[in-house]
Amino acid sequence: MGEQGSSSSSCFAGFVVVLSLVLNASVLCNGGKTSNFVRKVEKTIDMPLDSDVFRVPPGYNAPQQVHITQGDRVGKGVIVSWVTQDEAGSNTVIYWSENTKQKKQAEGKVYTYKFYNYTSGYIHHCTIRNLEFNTKYYYVVGIGHTERTFWFTTPPEVGPDVPYTFGLIGDLGQSFDSNSTLTHYEMNPRKGQTLLFVGDLSYADNYPNHDNVRWDTWGRFVERSVAYQPWIWTVGNHEIDFAPEIGETKPFKPYTQRYHVPYRASESTAPFWYSIKRASAYIIVLSSYSAYGKYTPQYEWLKEEFPKVNRSETPWLIVLMHSPWYNSYNYHYMEGETMRVMYEPWFVKYKVDVVFAGHVHAYERSERVSNIAYNVINGLCSPVKDQSAPVYITIGDGGNLEGLATNMTEPQPPYSAYREASFGHAIFDIKNRTHAYYSWHRNQDGYAVDADSMWFFNRYWHPMDDSTTADA
């Protein structure tokens, strides 16, 4: 434009300059936002083994790495897991509700595994069933040796207008930044009731021979949250632990031994993809690292799964996966593309509200876009604005030792509404069947500060345009 102007009359040149200023301004005003927040760049390093957050609880055979997750379809079941180190000890969980104080008990099972030259402690998993909704329960593990008591609150009964608050963390690891992220989540006054975890837990595989001691330290580090509220697990690439060079060829071995999920309750045949209902949300968990092509078990399951979602019962349809489909960083760019090609038409057809992913160690939120028109010969291969499509959120910014993804594609593509290379967590706060308030919190701010936020309008009950940039 400038060159064209210089070869024309001065009047025309002036017009061109003004026009280009207007065009530039409109691009700046209407496009997505790349945050100009500058954090102090420091190396992200793991906390040393003698850190207080990794401390082994005192007492003979004391239960450690205590964690809970949903244990059934609707939230009346809880899987309680813990590790004992000296001997197997009891598999019993004793529990009682705050209301009745009548003690009950459930029996679990114990497992051990070996990984190269590492032998695990005794890993206990026990499912407690038929709990009352919306009730505080106490539970005790370590019966017969050193007993430890924890508590949790069951969710309200599944229903369309039940408010509920989910936390979101991904790619957490066990660095000093990870500790900051978890503290900010715990201290956030919005108070997440259940955490949706989008994969990459311990990063033990970054150590020589995938040193599984770092799976144990991670379990002790996060106990302060996950022993008291369920974390809903998604697998990431750091859960694969595939190491043929040391004879370890069974993918997901440490992860599947340590973290159980209620996959059978949703008729899944493997723990890597499954679904749960919780309050007013239907949550589908997918595996970026299990086969997902046509005819595969995950594909067949998901094909049957979407039609089961009843938005009159659970208005909010949330999908978790590890590798994002819409990412504009130069890290893991297009890694989610093959899965997107397979499944995106279903996400649009069934009006998924939001997709949370991790993998990229930064934060990004998309507009509602889809890219499903392409048929090899028509050339229609760009994302377009689509009010039936989900918002895609990358929340792989938990703070693991690999550090931040800071390098972004330029210019920011129109599908990207907001992006920022900072560590943090998010909250998805469902108010009723039509509205949910979403906020992302960077670790450099005070606990209550929203660095990015958006009101979600439910795609089934209130499918109004909720985009935050004008030309998305």
Output the smallest distance, CB 359 to Fe ion, in A.
Answer: 4
The residue type of 90 is S
Q: Is 442 in the site for Fe ion (CB under 5 A)?
A: no
Rounded CA-CA distance 192/80 in Å is: 19
The residue (of 84 and 174) whose beta carbon lies closer to Fe ion is: 174
Output the smallest distance, CB 206 to Fe ion, in A.
Answer: 11
Active-site option among 184, 332, 425, 441: 332
The residue (of 67 and 332) whose beta carbon lies closer to Fe ion is: 332
Q: Is 399 in the site for Fe ion (CB under 5 A)?
A: no
* Consecutive H or E run containing 355: strand 354-357
Which of 169, 139, 163 lies closest to 152 in space, CA to CA? Answer: 139
- Candidate residues 236, 262, 383, 390; the one interacting with Fe ion per rule CB under 5 A: 236
Rounded CA-CA distance 279/291 in Å is: 30
Backbone phi, then psi, for 253, in 5-degree steps?
A: -60, -60
* Consecutive H or E run containing 285: strand 281-285
Spell out, one character per residue from 154 to 183, where the chain touches Fe ion: x when CB under 5 A holds, - when not: ------------------------------
Could you please report the per-residue DSSP string of 120-171? --EEEEEEE-SPPTT-EEEEEE-TTSS-EEEEEEPPPPS-TT--EEEEEE-S
Residues 6+ apart with CB under 8 A from 304: 267
Output the smallest distance, CB 240 to Fe ion, in A.
Answer: 10
The residue (of 200 and 353) whose beta carbon lies closer to Fe ion is: 200
Rounded CA-CA distance 66/230 in Å is: 11
Residue nearest to Fe ion (CB): 359
Distance, first Cα to last Cα, the chain: 25
The residue (of 148 and 359) whose beta carbon lies closer to Fe ion is: 359
Count of positions on this chain that bind Fe ion (CB under 5 A): 4
The residue (of 337 and 465) whose beta carbon lies closer to Fe ion is: 337
Which of 451, 466, 405 lies closest to 44 in space, CA to CA? Answer: 405
User: Which of the ranges 117-125, 236-244, 302-310, 452-460 carries the binding residues for Fe ion, by CB under 5 A?
Assistant: 236-244
The residue (of 359 and 365) whose beta carbon lies closer to Fe ion is: 359
The residue (of 199 and 271) whose beta carbon lies closer to Fe ion is: 199
β-bridge partners, 319: 284, 355
- Candidate residues 178, 237, 268, 394; the one interacting with Fe ion per rule CB under 5 A: 237
Output the smallest distance, CB 464 to Fe ion, in A.
Answer: 34
User: Which of the ranges 57-65, 67-75, 173-181, 193-201 carries the binding residues for Fe ion, by CB under 5 A?
Assistant: 193-201
Spell out, one character per residue from 196 to 235, where the chain touches Fe ion: x when CB under 5 A holds, - when not: ----x-----------------------------------
Q: Are the C-beta atoms of residues 305 and 316 closer than 8 Å to each other?
A: no
Residues 6+ apart with CB under 8 A from 263: 269, 270, 271, 272, 273, 274
Which of 141, 287, 145 lies closest to 223 in space, CA to CA? Answer: 141
Output the smallest distance, CB 407 to Fe ion, in A.
Answer: 16
User: Which of the ranges 175-183, 307-315, 351-359, 446-454 carries the binding residues for Fe ion, by CB under 5 A?
Assistant: 351-359
260 catalytic, yes or no?
A: no
The residue (of 200 and 466) whose beta carbon lies closer to Fe ion is: 200
Output the smallest distance, CB 250 to Fe ion, in A.
Answer: 20
Output the smallest distance, CB 399 to Fe ion, in A.
Answer: 13
Output the smallest distance, CB 236 to Fe ion, in A.
Answer: 4
Backbone phi, then psi, for 183, in 5-degree steps?
A: -60, -45
User: Which of the ranges 18-26, 32-40, 192-200, 272-280 carries the binding residues for Fe ion, by CB under 5 A?
Assistant: 192-200
Helices (H) and strands (E) in the chain, counts: 7, 26
Tokens of 158: 């599944």
Q: Is 359 in the site for Fe ion (CB under 5 A)?
A: yes
Site residues (vs Fe ion, CB under 5 A): 200, 236-237, 359
Active site residues: 332
